[in-house]
Chains A and B, each alone.
Chain A
Amino acid sequence: MGKIVALTGNDAAGTAMIQIRPDVVAAFPITPQTELMHKFAEAVADGDVDTEFVSVESEHSAMSAAIGASAAGARVMTATAANGFALMWEVVYIAASYRLPIVMTLVNRALSGPINIHCDHSDSMGGRDAGWIQLHSENSQEVYDNLIQGVKIAENRDVLLPVMVTSDGFILSHTLERMEILDNQGVQDFVGENHPQHTLLDVDHPITFGPLDLPDYYFEHKRQQVLAMEKAKGVILEVGREFKKLSGRDYWLFEEYQMEGAERAIVALGSTAGTVKETVDALREKGEKVGLIKLRVFRPFPKEELVEALKGIKALVVLDRSNSFGGFGGPLFTEIRSTLYGSGLSFEVLNYIYGLGGRNISLKEIEGVYSDLKEVIETSKVKERINYLGVRE
Protein backbone atom coordinates (compact mmCIF):
# COMPACT_ATOMS: atom_id res chain seq x y z
CA MET A 1 0.00 0.00 0.00
CA GLY A 2 1.05 3.54 -0.63
CA LYS A 3 1.90 6.18 1.91
CA ILE A 4 0.29 9.62 2.02
CA VAL A 5 2.92 12.34 1.94
CA ALA A 6 3.23 16.07 1.35
CA LEU A 7 5.65 16.78 -1.50
CA THR A 8 6.39 19.46 -4.05
CA GLY A 9 6.47 18.43 -7.70
CA ASN A 10 10.26 18.57 -7.60
CA ASP A 11 10.45 16.39 -4.50
CA ALA A 12 7.92 14.01 -6.05
CA ALA A 13 10.13 13.61 -9.14
CA GLY A 14 13.26 13.30 -6.97
CA THR A 15 11.53 10.65 -4.85
CA ALA A 16 10.53 8.67 -7.94
CA MET A 17 14.15 8.77 -9.14
CA ILE A 18 15.43 7.63 -5.74
CA GLN A 19 12.99 4.71 -5.78
CA ILE A 20 13.80 3.82 -9.41
CA ARG A 21 17.53 3.85 -8.53
CA PRO A 22 18.89 4.48 -12.01
CA ASP A 23 22.48 3.40 -12.73
CA VAL A 24 23.52 6.81 -13.98
CA VAL A 25 22.18 10.35 -13.60
CA ALA A 26 23.90 13.24 -15.35
CA ALA A 27 22.51 16.71 -14.73
CA PHE A 28 23.09 20.43 -14.64
CA PRO A 29 20.98 22.72 -12.44
CA ILE A 30 18.48 25.21 -13.84
CA THR A 31 15.49 26.92 -12.22
CA PRO A 32 12.87 25.48 -11.64
CA GLN A 33 14.44 22.00 -11.90
CA THR A 34 17.22 22.63 -9.35
CA GLU A 35 15.52 21.30 -6.19
CA LEU A 36 14.67 18.09 -8.00
CA MET A 37 18.36 17.36 -8.51
CA HIS A 38 19.18 18.60 -4.99
CA LYS A 39 16.85 15.95 -3.65
CA PHE A 40 18.36 13.22 -5.78
CA ALA A 41 22.00 14.29 -5.31
CA GLU A 42 21.42 14.33 -1.55
CA ALA A 43 20.26 10.71 -1.68
CA VAL A 44 23.41 9.82 -3.64
CA ALA A 45 25.63 11.67 -1.14
CA ASP A 46 23.88 9.97 1.79
CA GLY A 47 24.45 6.56 0.20
CA ASP A 48 20.70 5.90 -0.10
CA VAL A 49 21.13 5.10 -3.80
CA ASP A 50 24.19 3.70 -5.56
CA THR A 51 23.66 5.77 -8.71
CA GLU A 52 26.70 7.16 -10.51
CA PHE A 53 25.90 10.88 -10.35
CA VAL A 54 27.70 12.91 -12.99
CA SER A 55 27.86 16.65 -12.37
CA VAL A 56 28.46 18.14 -15.76
CA GLU A 57 29.24 21.65 -16.98
CA SER A 58 26.19 22.14 -19.20
CA GLU A 59 22.95 20.52 -20.29
CA HIS A 60 24.51 19.58 -23.62
CA SER A 61 27.03 17.57 -21.62
CA ALA A 62 24.30 16.18 -19.36
CA MET A 63 22.44 14.67 -22.31
CA SER A 64 25.71 13.57 -23.95
CA ALA A 65 26.77 11.75 -20.77
CA ALA A 66 23.28 10.24 -20.52
CA ILE A 67 23.58 8.99 -24.10
CA GLY A 68 27.01 7.45 -23.50
CA ALA A 69 25.90 5.71 -20.33
CA SER A 70 22.66 4.49 -21.86
CA ALA A 71 24.46 3.13 -24.93
CA ALA A 72 26.77 1.31 -22.52
CA GLY A 73 23.71 -0.44 -21.09
CA ALA A 74 22.95 1.63 -18.00
CA ARG A 75 19.50 2.79 -16.88
CA VAL A 76 19.80 6.56 -17.13
CA MET A 77 17.73 9.52 -15.97
CA THR A 78 18.12 13.27 -16.00
CA ALA A 79 16.05 16.44 -15.67
CA THR A 80 16.12 19.95 -17.03
CA ALA A 81 13.99 22.98 -17.95
CA ALA A 82 13.58 25.59 -20.68
CA ASN A 83 16.93 26.97 -21.86
CA GLY A 84 18.71 23.96 -20.41
CA PHE A 85 16.60 21.77 -22.66
CA ALA A 86 17.24 24.13 -25.55
CA LEU A 87 20.98 23.78 -25.01
CA MET A 88 20.53 19.99 -25.13
CA TRP A 89 18.61 20.17 -28.37
CA GLU A 90 21.19 18.67 -30.72
CA VAL A 91 21.75 15.60 -28.58
CA VAL A 92 18.08 15.22 -27.63
CA TYR A 93 17.47 14.07 -31.21
CA ILE A 94 20.47 11.75 -31.03
CA ALA A 95 19.16 10.03 -27.88
CA ALA A 96 15.96 9.15 -29.73
CA SER A 97 17.64 8.05 -32.94
CA TYR A 98 20.04 5.74 -31.03
CA ARG A 99 16.88 4.28 -29.49
CA LEU A 100 18.10 4.91 -25.94
CA PRO A 101 15.50 4.57 -23.17
CA ILE A 102 16.57 7.64 -21.18
CA VAL A 103 13.89 9.10 -18.90
CA MET A 104 13.93 12.84 -18.27
CA THR A 105 11.76 15.19 -16.24
CA LEU A 106 11.21 18.47 -18.05
CA VAL A 107 10.13 21.12 -15.58
CA ASN A 108 8.26 23.39 -17.97
CA ARG A 109 9.49 26.95 -18.11
CA ALA A 110 9.25 29.69 -20.72
CA LEU A 111 12.12 30.01 -23.13
CA SER A 112 13.98 33.31 -23.05
CA GLY A 113 13.85 36.05 -23.98
CA PRO A 114 13.14 38.19 -22.20
CA ILE A 115 14.35 36.07 -19.30
CA ASN A 116 11.46 34.40 -17.52
CA ILE A 117 11.62 31.53 -15.05
CA HIS A 118 7.90 30.72 -14.97
CA CYS A 119 5.78 28.07 -16.59
CA ASP A 120 4.82 27.65 -20.18
CA HIS A 121 5.16 24.79 -22.61
CA SER A 122 7.44 26.40 -25.19
CA ASP A 123 10.25 24.11 -24.06
CA SER A 124 8.46 20.76 -24.37
CA MET A 125 6.84 21.88 -27.63
CA GLY A 126 10.29 22.82 -28.90
CA GLY A 127 11.17 19.15 -28.44
CA ARG A 128 7.99 17.98 -30.12
CA ASP A 129 9.67 16.50 -33.19
CA ALA A 130 12.77 15.11 -31.47
CA GLY A 131 11.42 11.57 -31.28
CA TRP A 132 10.77 11.44 -27.54
CA ILE A 133 7.64 10.07 -25.96
CA GLN A 134 5.96 12.90 -24.02
CA LEU A 135 3.89 12.26 -20.89
CA HIS A 136 2.23 15.35 -19.40
CA SER A 137 1.27 15.71 -15.75
CA GLU A 138 -1.58 17.52 -14.00
CA ASN A 139 -0.17 17.38 -10.47
CA SER A 140 2.71 16.06 -8.34
CA GLN A 141 1.11 12.63 -8.19
CA GLU A 142 1.14 12.35 -11.95
CA VAL A 143 4.74 13.57 -12.19
CA TYR A 144 5.71 10.75 -9.83
CA ASP A 145 3.53 8.10 -11.47
CA ASN A 146 4.53 9.09 -15.02
CA LEU A 147 8.23 8.80 -14.18
CA ILE A 148 7.86 5.29 -12.79
CA GLN A 149 5.79 4.19 -15.77
CA GLY A 150 8.15 6.06 -18.11
CA VAL A 151 11.06 3.75 -17.29
CA LYS A 152 9.04 0.69 -18.20
CA ILE A 153 7.64 2.23 -21.37
CA ALA A 154 11.05 3.43 -22.57
CA GLU A 155 12.80 0.12 -21.98
CA ASN A 156 10.16 -2.04 -23.64
CA ARG A 157 11.87 -3.81 -26.55
CA ASP A 158 9.13 -2.83 -28.95
CA VAL A 159 9.66 0.82 -28.01
CA LEU A 160 13.24 1.69 -26.99
CA LEU A 161 12.62 5.42 -27.08
CA PRO A 162 13.45 8.13 -24.58
CA VAL A 163 10.60 9.42 -22.44
CA MET A 164 10.03 12.99 -21.28
CA VAL A 165 7.78 13.58 -18.28
CA THR A 166 6.61 17.16 -17.85
CA SER A 167 5.99 19.08 -14.64
CA ASP A 168 4.67 22.65 -14.82
CA GLY A 169 7.37 24.92 -13.45
CA PHE A 170 6.54 26.46 -10.03
CA ILE A 171 2.84 25.60 -10.41
CA LEU A 172 3.79 21.99 -9.71
CA SER A 173 7.53 22.00 -9.12
CA HIS A 174 7.36 24.36 -6.13
CA THR A 175 3.87 23.57 -4.84
CA LEU A 176 3.54 21.26 -1.88
CA GLU A 177 0.64 18.85 -2.36
CA ARG A 178 -0.85 15.76 -0.87
CA MET A 179 0.07 12.64 -2.80
CA GLU A 180 0.70 8.96 -2.35
CA ILE A 181 4.04 7.26 -2.82
CA LEU A 182 4.63 3.55 -3.30
CA ASP A 183 7.11 1.58 -1.23
CA ASN A 184 10.63 1.21 -2.58
CA GLN A 185 10.33 -2.50 -3.25
CA GLY A 186 7.06 -2.01 -5.11
CA VAL A 187 8.72 0.50 -7.45
CA GLN A 188 11.81 -1.70 -7.85
CA ASP A 189 9.69 -4.74 -8.73
CA PHE A 190 7.58 -2.69 -11.12
CA VAL A 191 10.45 -1.24 -13.13
CA GLY A 192 12.39 -4.51 -12.90
CA GLU A 193 15.97 -4.91 -14.02
CA ASN A 194 17.18 -3.37 -17.22
CA HIS A 195 18.45 -5.99 -19.65
CA PRO A 196 19.36 -4.11 -22.80
CA GLN A 197 19.79 -6.25 -25.90
CA HIS A 198 22.50 -4.24 -27.58
CA THR A 199 25.14 -2.38 -25.62
CA LEU A 200 28.54 -0.88 -26.31
CA LEU A 201 30.13 -2.87 -23.51
CA ASP A 202 28.97 -6.25 -24.78
CA VAL A 203 32.30 -7.07 -26.42
CA ASP A 204 31.13 -10.50 -27.56
CA HIS A 205 28.48 -8.85 -29.72
CA PRO A 206 30.16 -5.67 -30.90
CA ILE A 207 27.91 -2.97 -32.33
CA THR A 208 28.25 0.61 -33.45
CA PHE A 209 26.17 3.56 -32.24
CA GLY A 210 25.84 6.62 -34.38
CA PRO A 211 27.81 5.80 -37.53
CA LEU A 212 27.55 7.82 -40.71
CA ASP A 213 24.13 7.11 -42.17
CA LEU A 214 23.84 8.51 -45.67
CA PRO A 215 20.89 8.57 -48.09
CA ASP A 216 21.26 4.80 -48.47
CA TYR A 217 19.83 4.00 -44.98
CA TYR A 218 19.03 7.16 -42.97
CA PHE A 219 15.41 7.26 -44.17
CA GLU A 220 14.81 3.63 -43.15
CA HIS A 221 16.10 4.38 -39.67
CA LYS A 222 13.73 7.34 -39.35
CA ARG A 223 10.88 5.10 -40.50
CA GLN A 224 11.76 2.68 -37.71
CA GLN A 225 11.44 5.52 -35.19
CA VAL A 226 7.94 6.13 -36.52
CA LEU A 227 7.05 2.46 -36.08
CA ALA A 228 8.46 2.47 -32.53
CA MET A 229 6.21 5.44 -31.70
CA GLU A 230 3.22 3.59 -33.12
CA LYS A 231 4.01 0.55 -30.96
CA ALA A 232 4.57 2.78 -27.93
CA LYS A 233 0.84 3.53 -27.72
CA GLY A 234 -0.03 -0.08 -26.91
CA VAL A 235 2.87 -0.35 -24.49
CA ILE A 236 1.79 2.84 -22.66
CA LEU A 237 -1.67 1.32 -22.19
CA GLU A 238 -0.24 -2.02 -21.04
CA VAL A 239 2.12 -0.34 -18.55
CA GLY A 240 -0.81 1.81 -17.36
CA ARG A 241 -2.90 -1.30 -16.63
CA GLU A 242 -0.03 -2.89 -14.75
CA PHE A 243 0.55 0.32 -12.80
CA LYS A 244 -3.08 0.38 -11.76
CA LYS A 245 -2.65 -3.02 -10.12
CA LEU A 246 0.21 -1.61 -8.10
CA SER A 247 -1.18 1.84 -7.27
CA GLY A 248 -4.93 1.73 -7.85
CA ARG A 249 -4.59 4.78 -10.08
CA ASP A 250 -5.85 4.90 -13.66
CA TYR A 251 -3.63 6.02 -16.52
CA TRP A 252 -4.65 6.18 -20.16
CA LEU A 253 -3.67 8.22 -23.20
CA PHE A 254 -5.89 11.03 -21.98
CA GLU A 255 -8.48 11.58 -19.30
CA GLU A 256 -12.09 12.30 -20.22
CA TYR A 257 -13.60 14.51 -17.55
CA GLN A 258 -17.38 14.95 -17.64
CA MET A 259 -17.39 14.19 -21.37
CA GLU A 260 -20.56 12.12 -21.05
CA GLY A 261 -23.18 14.18 -22.87
CA ALA A 262 -20.85 17.17 -23.16
CA GLU A 263 -21.62 19.64 -25.95
CA ARG A 264 -18.74 22.02 -25.27
CA ALA A 265 -15.27 20.72 -24.55
CA ILE A 266 -11.77 21.96 -23.81
CA VAL A 267 -8.54 20.09 -24.50
CA ALA A 268 -5.69 21.03 -22.18
CA LEU A 269 -2.26 19.88 -21.02
CA GLY A 270 -0.69 19.93 -17.59
CA SER A 271 -1.75 21.65 -14.37
CA THR A 272 -4.33 23.86 -16.10
CA ALA A 273 -6.42 20.73 -16.65
CA GLY A 274 -7.07 20.72 -12.89
CA THR A 275 -8.27 24.32 -12.96
CA VAL A 276 -10.52 23.48 -15.93
CA LYS A 277 -11.98 20.52 -13.99
CA GLU A 278 -12.97 22.86 -11.15
CA THR A 279 -14.72 25.11 -13.69
CA VAL A 280 -16.44 22.11 -15.29
CA ASP A 281 -17.74 21.04 -11.86
CA ALA A 282 -19.18 24.50 -11.21
CA LEU A 283 -20.82 24.73 -14.66
CA ARG A 284 -22.17 21.16 -14.52
CA GLU A 285 -23.89 22.08 -11.25
CA LYS A 286 -25.73 24.75 -13.19
CA GLY A 287 -26.73 22.14 -15.76
CA GLU A 288 -24.32 23.21 -18.49
CA LYS A 289 -23.07 20.42 -20.72
CA VAL A 290 -19.34 21.00 -20.57
CA GLY A 291 -16.38 18.65 -20.41
CA LEU A 292 -12.62 18.37 -20.60
CA ILE A 293 -10.07 16.18 -22.28
CA LYS A 294 -6.78 16.21 -20.44
CA LEU A 295 -4.14 14.98 -22.80
CA ARG A 296 -1.50 12.88 -21.04
CA VAL A 297 0.31 11.35 -23.99
CA PHE A 298 1.24 14.03 -26.50
CA ARG A 299 3.78 11.83 -28.30
CA PRO A 300 2.69 9.38 -29.66
CA PHE A 301 -0.37 11.51 -30.46
CA PRO A 302 -3.59 9.53 -29.79
CA LYS A 303 -5.44 10.64 -32.93
CA GLU A 304 -8.00 7.84 -33.38
CA GLU A 305 -8.87 7.82 -29.68
CA LEU A 306 -9.36 11.60 -29.65
CA VAL A 307 -11.73 11.45 -32.61
CA GLU A 308 -13.71 8.78 -30.78
CA ALA A 309 -13.84 10.81 -27.55
CA LEU A 310 -14.94 13.99 -29.34
CA LYS A 311 -17.92 12.43 -31.10
CA GLY A 312 -21.09 14.15 -30.01
CA ILE A 313 -19.68 17.52 -29.02
CA LYS A 314 -20.77 20.71 -30.77
CA ALA A 315 -17.71 22.95 -30.35
CA LEU A 316 -14.19 22.63 -29.03
CA VAL A 317 -11.48 24.85 -27.59
CA VAL A 318 -7.84 23.82 -27.54
CA LEU A 319 -5.76 25.53 -24.86
CA ASP A 320 -2.14 26.07 -25.82
CA ARG A 321 0.47 27.23 -23.32
CA SER A 322 2.92 27.92 -26.14
CA ASN A 323 2.78 29.49 -29.55
CA SER A 324 4.10 29.08 -33.04
CA PHE A 325 4.86 32.60 -34.15
CA GLY A 326 3.39 33.23 -37.56
CA GLY A 327 1.79 29.80 -37.57
CA PHE A 328 -1.88 28.91 -37.54
CA GLY A 329 -2.41 28.68 -33.79
CA GLY A 330 -0.51 26.84 -31.08
CA PRO A 331 1.00 23.39 -31.62
CA LEU A 332 -1.77 21.46 -29.84
CA PHE A 333 -4.49 23.29 -31.77
CA THR A 334 -2.83 22.66 -35.12
CA GLU A 335 -2.53 18.97 -34.39
CA ILE A 336 -6.04 18.49 -33.07
CA ARG A 337 -7.67 20.45 -35.85
CA SER A 338 -5.67 18.47 -38.38
CA THR A 339 -6.72 15.22 -36.67
CA LEU A 340 -10.38 16.21 -36.96
CA TYR A 341 -10.20 17.18 -40.62
CA GLY A 342 -11.50 14.24 -42.63
CA SER A 343 -12.62 12.39 -39.50
CA GLY A 344 -16.29 12.94 -40.27
CA LEU A 345 -16.66 15.31 -37.29
CA SER A 346 -17.42 18.86 -38.28
CA PHE A 347 -17.73 21.12 -35.26
CA GLU A 348 -15.85 24.39 -34.84
CA VAL A 349 -12.45 24.26 -33.16
CA LEU A 350 -11.02 27.39 -31.56
CA ASN A 351 -7.63 28.04 -30.09
CA TYR A 352 -6.86 29.96 -26.89
CA ILE A 353 -3.22 30.68 -26.25
CA TYR A 354 -2.74 31.40 -22.54
CA GLY A 355 -0.32 31.47 -19.65
CA LEU A 356 2.86 32.38 -21.49
CA GLY A 357 5.70 33.12 -19.07
CA GLY A 358 3.60 31.94 -16.14
CA ARG A 359 0.64 34.33 -16.61
CA ASN A 360 -2.10 33.07 -14.32
CA ILE A 361 -5.24 31.50 -15.82
CA SER A 362 -8.24 31.99 -13.54
CA LEU A 363 -11.46 30.04 -13.10
CA LYS A 364 -13.31 33.08 -14.41
CA GLU A 365 -11.28 33.10 -17.61
CA ILE A 366 -11.95 29.41 -18.24
CA GLU A 367 -15.63 30.00 -17.60
CA GLY A 368 -15.40 32.74 -20.24
CA VAL A 369 -13.96 30.25 -22.72
CA TYR A 370 -16.92 27.92 -22.21
CA SER A 371 -19.29 30.83 -22.62
CA ASP A 372 -17.55 31.86 -25.87
CA LEU A 373 -18.15 28.30 -27.09
CA LYS A 374 -21.83 28.66 -26.28
CA GLU A 375 -21.99 31.71 -28.50
CA VAL A 376 -20.22 29.86 -31.31
CA ILE A 377 -22.82 27.09 -31.16
CA GLU A 378 -25.79 29.49 -30.93
CA THR A 379 -24.68 31.82 -33.72
CA SER A 380 -22.76 29.31 -35.86
CA LYS A 381 -20.15 32.03 -36.15
CA VAL A 382 -16.52 32.17 -35.07
CA LYS A 383 -15.39 35.70 -34.27
CA GLU A 384 -11.73 34.83 -33.80
CA ARG A 385 -10.24 31.43 -34.49
CA ILE A 386 -7.01 32.08 -32.60
CA ASN A 387 -7.45 33.91 -29.31
CA TYR A 388 -5.09 35.16 -26.63
CA LEU A 389 -6.43 34.62 -23.12
CA GLY A 390 -5.38 36.95 -20.32
CA VAL A 391 -3.10 39.19 -22.32
CA ARG A 392 -3.22 43.02 -22.31
CA GLU A 393 -3.83 44.28 -25.84
Chain B
Amino acid sequence: MIEIRWHGRGGQGAKTGALFLAEAAIEEGKYSQGFPEYGPERMGAPMKGFTRIDDKPIKVHCEVANPQVVIVLDTTLLEVVDVCEGLKKDGILLVNTPQDPSRIRQKLNISGRKVYTVDANGISIKEIGKAIPNTPMIGAFIRATGLLRPETIYEDIRRKFGKKFDQRITEGNIRAIKRAYEEVKGE
Protein backbone atom coordinates (compact mmCIF):
# COMPACT_ATOMS: atom_id res chain seq x y z
CA MET B 1 0.00 0.00 0.00
CA ILE B 2 1.20 3.48 -0.91
CA GLU B 3 0.35 6.21 1.57
CA ILE B 4 0.54 9.86 0.55
CA ARG B 5 0.41 12.95 2.71
CA TRP B 6 -0.46 16.35 1.28
CA HIS B 7 0.59 19.60 2.95
CA GLY B 8 -1.05 22.82 1.89
CA ARG B 9 -2.63 25.96 3.16
CA GLY B 10 -6.40 26.27 3.37
CA GLY B 11 -7.65 27.15 -0.11
CA GLN B 12 -4.76 25.59 -2.07
CA GLY B 13 -6.57 22.35 -2.70
CA ALA B 14 -4.74 19.79 -0.53
CA LYS B 15 -8.07 18.13 0.30
CA THR B 16 -9.31 18.27 -3.28
CA GLY B 17 -5.98 16.89 -4.49
CA ALA B 18 -6.04 14.02 -1.97
CA LEU B 19 -9.57 13.03 -2.96
CA PHE B 20 -8.98 13.57 -6.68
CA LEU B 21 -6.01 11.23 -6.63
CA ALA B 22 -8.02 8.59 -4.74
CA GLU B 23 -10.84 8.79 -7.24
CA ALA B 24 -8.46 8.45 -10.19
CA ALA B 25 -6.87 5.37 -8.56
CA ILE B 26 -10.31 3.79 -8.08
CA GLU B 27 -11.11 4.47 -11.74
CA GLU B 28 -8.00 2.51 -12.66
CA GLY B 29 -9.42 -0.43 -10.72
CA LYS B 30 -7.29 0.09 -7.63
CA TYR B 31 -8.44 0.45 -4.04
CA SER B 32 -8.01 3.84 -2.50
CA GLN B 33 -8.96 6.25 0.27
CA GLY B 34 -8.80 10.03 0.21
CA PHE B 35 -9.41 12.12 3.29
CA PRO B 36 -8.44 15.44 4.82
CA GLU B 37 -7.38 16.18 8.35
CA TYR B 38 -10.20 18.30 9.74
CA GLY B 39 -9.30 21.03 12.15
CA PRO B 40 -10.28 24.65 12.40
CA GLU B 41 -9.59 25.21 8.67
CA ARG B 42 -9.50 28.66 7.33
CA MET B 43 -7.99 30.30 4.29
CA GLY B 44 -4.22 30.19 4.56
CA ALA B 45 -3.90 27.92 7.62
CA PRO B 46 -1.65 24.84 7.33
CA MET B 47 -3.66 21.70 6.64
CA LYS B 48 -3.14 18.12 5.54
CA GLY B 49 -4.77 15.67 3.19
CA PHE B 50 -4.16 11.92 2.80
CA THR B 51 -4.42 9.35 0.02
CA ARG B 52 -3.97 5.59 0.27
CA ILE B 53 -3.62 3.45 -2.87
CA ASP B 54 -3.43 -0.34 -2.99
CA ASP B 55 -4.16 -3.30 -5.27
CA LYS B 56 -6.18 -5.00 -2.55
CA PRO B 57 -9.00 -3.77 -0.31
CA ILE B 58 -7.86 -1.21 2.28
CA LYS B 59 -9.02 -2.01 5.79
CA VAL B 60 -7.26 0.60 7.92
CA HIS B 61 -9.08 3.73 8.98
CA CYS B 62 -6.42 5.36 11.11
CA GLU B 63 -4.19 8.33 10.31
CA VAL B 64 -1.26 7.94 7.95
CA ALA B 65 1.86 7.68 10.14
CA ASN B 66 4.58 6.70 7.66
CA PRO B 67 3.84 8.05 4.20
CA GLN B 68 5.68 6.84 1.13
CA VAL B 69 5.11 10.19 -0.57
CA VAL B 70 4.77 13.71 0.84
CA ILE B 71 3.44 16.46 -1.42
CA VAL B 72 4.01 20.07 -0.35
CA LEU B 73 1.86 22.67 -2.11
CA ASP B 74 3.39 25.71 -0.41
CA THR B 75 7.09 26.29 0.32
CA THR B 76 6.34 28.62 3.24
CA LEU B 77 5.18 25.49 5.07
CA LEU B 78 8.71 24.07 4.99
CA GLU B 79 9.60 26.50 7.79
CA VAL B 80 6.59 25.87 10.00
CA VAL B 81 5.71 22.20 9.51
CA ASP B 82 7.97 19.13 9.69
CA VAL B 83 6.92 17.90 6.27
CA CYS B 84 9.29 14.91 6.46
CA GLU B 85 7.77 13.59 9.69
CA GLY B 86 7.41 9.82 9.41
CA LEU B 87 8.41 9.85 5.72
CA LYS B 88 9.76 6.42 4.81
CA LYS B 89 13.51 5.97 4.28
CA ASP B 90 12.93 5.27 0.59
CA GLY B 91 10.11 7.80 0.41
CA ILE B 92 9.54 10.70 -1.94
CA LEU B 93 9.24 14.39 -1.10
CA LEU B 94 7.60 16.43 -3.84
CA VAL B 95 7.62 20.21 -3.42
CA ASN B 96 5.94 23.00 -5.38
CA THR B 97 8.87 25.36 -5.94
CA PRO B 98 10.96 26.76 -8.79
CA GLN B 99 14.07 25.74 -6.80
CA ASP B 100 16.13 22.67 -7.64
CA PRO B 101 15.66 19.50 -5.58
CA SER B 102 19.22 19.88 -4.23
CA ARG B 103 18.30 23.22 -2.65
CA ILE B 104 15.31 21.69 -0.87
CA ARG B 105 17.37 18.71 0.21
CA GLN B 106 19.97 21.06 1.66
CA LYS B 107 17.41 23.34 3.28
CA LEU B 108 15.63 20.47 5.06
CA ASN B 109 18.82 18.49 5.65
CA ILE B 110 17.39 15.38 4.02
CA SER B 111 19.57 12.34 3.56
CA GLY B 112 18.47 9.42 1.43
CA ARG B 113 14.93 9.51 0.07
CA LYS B 114 14.11 11.17 -3.23
CA VAL B 115 13.36 14.85 -3.58
CA TYR B 116 11.38 16.21 -6.53
CA THR B 117 10.46 19.81 -7.32
CA VAL B 118 8.24 21.49 -9.86
CA ASP B 119 7.11 25.11 -10.25
CA ALA B 120 3.42 24.31 -9.98
CA ASN B 121 2.51 27.91 -9.14
CA GLY B 122 4.31 29.29 -12.17
CA ILE B 123 2.81 26.63 -14.41
CA SER B 124 -0.74 27.15 -13.16
CA ILE B 125 -0.52 30.95 -13.42
CA LYS B 126 0.56 30.61 -17.02
CA GLU B 127 -1.80 27.83 -18.07
CA ILE B 128 -4.87 28.35 -15.86
CA GLY B 129 -4.55 32.04 -15.07
CA LYS B 130 -4.07 31.78 -11.33
CA ALA B 131 -2.03 29.90 -8.75
CA ILE B 132 -3.86 26.58 -8.29
CA PRO B 133 -0.98 24.22 -7.61
CA ASN B 134 -2.88 21.01 -6.84
CA THR B 135 -3.65 19.86 -10.37
CA PRO B 136 -0.11 20.32 -11.77
CA MET B 137 1.22 18.59 -8.63
CA ILE B 138 -0.78 15.51 -9.63
CA GLY B 139 1.07 15.54 -12.96
CA ALA B 140 4.40 15.72 -11.12
CA PHE B 141 3.24 12.99 -8.73
CA ILE B 142 2.45 10.46 -11.44
CA ARG B 143 5.80 11.14 -13.09
CA ALA B 144 7.72 10.80 -9.81
CA THR B 145 5.93 7.64 -8.64
CA GLY B 146 4.88 5.88 -11.84
CA LEU B 147 1.50 5.30 -10.21
CA LEU B 148 -1.57 5.97 -12.36
CA ARG B 149 -1.77 6.86 -16.03
CA PRO B 150 -1.86 10.51 -17.17
CA GLU B 151 -4.82 9.67 -19.44
CA THR B 152 -6.96 8.72 -16.42
CA ILE B 153 -6.26 12.11 -14.91
CA TYR B 154 -7.08 13.99 -18.14
CA GLU B 155 -10.36 12.12 -18.53
CA ASP B 156 -11.24 12.83 -14.89
CA ILE B 157 -10.47 16.52 -15.29
CA ARG B 158 -12.56 16.75 -18.47
CA ARG B 159 -15.50 15.00 -16.83
CA LYS B 160 -15.41 16.83 -13.52
CA PHE B 161 -14.33 20.30 -14.62
CA GLY B 162 -16.48 20.11 -17.74
CA LYS B 163 -19.58 20.37 -15.58
CA LYS B 164 -18.42 23.38 -13.58
CA PHE B 165 -16.06 25.43 -15.71
CA ASP B 166 -15.69 26.51 -19.31
CA GLN B 167 -13.43 24.62 -21.66
CA ARG B 168 -10.61 27.15 -21.33
CA ILE B 169 -10.15 26.29 -17.66
CA THR B 170 -10.50 22.56 -18.24
CA GLU B 171 -7.92 22.51 -21.01
CA GLY B 172 -5.67 24.89 -19.02
CA ASN B 173 -5.63 22.39 -16.17
CA ILE B 174 -4.77 19.55 -18.50
CA ARG B 175 -1.92 21.57 -20.03
CA ALA B 176 -0.70 22.40 -16.51
CA ILE B 177 -0.67 18.70 -15.56
CA LYS B 178 1.17 17.80 -18.75
CA ARG B 179 3.77 20.51 -18.22
CA ALA B 180 4.32 19.54 -14.59
CA TYR B 181 4.70 15.91 -15.71
CA GLU B 182 7.39 17.02 -18.17
CA GLU B 183 9.13 19.62 -16.02
CA VAL B 184 9.35 17.91 -12.64
CA LYS B 185 12.97 17.41 -11.52
CA GLY B 186 14.18 14.80 -9.09
CA GLU B 187 17.30 13.50 -7.41
Residue in contact with A6 in the complex, picked from B27, B35, B65, CB distance below 8 Å: B27
A212 interface hit (Cβ, 8 Å): no
B35, B36, B58, B59: residue with the most chain A Cβ atoms closer than 10 Å: B59
Chain A residues with CB under 8 Å of B91's CB are none
B22 touches A6 (CB 8 A): yes
Name B1-52 residues within 8 Å CB distance of A: 19, 22-23, 26-27, 29-36, 38
A377 interface hit (Cβ, 8 Å): no
Size range of the chain B interface in the assembly? 20 to 34
A178 touches B63 (CB 8 A): no
Instruction: Given A170-B35, A176-B19, verify A275-B59 contact (CB < 8 Å).
Output: yes
Residue in contact with B34 in the complex, picked from A4, A175, A277, CB distance below 8 Å: A175
A176 to B36, CA, bound (A): 10
Chain B residues with CB under 8 Å of A360's CB are 62-63
Q: Mark A170-214, 1 if CB is under 8 A from B, else 0.
A: 111011111000000000000000000000000000000000000
In chain B, what residue has the closest Cβ to A32?
A: B38
B62 touches A6 (CB 8 A): no
B60 interface hit (Cβ, 8 Å): yes
Size range of the chain A interface in the assembly? 20 to 34
B60 touches A275 (CB 8 A): yes
In chain B, what residue has the closest Cβ to A140?
A: B33
A234 to B26, CA, bound (A): 36
Chain A residues with CB under 8 Å of B164's CB are none
A274 to B63, CA, bound (A): 13
Name A23-60 residues within 8 Å CB distance of B: none
Name A1-15 residues within 8 Å CB distance of B: 4-6
B62 touches A361 (CB 8 A): yes
Residue in contact with B63 in the complex, picked from A176, A281, A362, CB distance below 8 Å: A362
In chain A, what residue has the closest Cβ to B32?
A: A178
**Nearest CB in chain B: distance from A176 CB, A:** 4
Instruction: Given A6-B22, A6-B26, A170-B38, verify A178-B31 contact (CB < 8 Å).
Output: yes
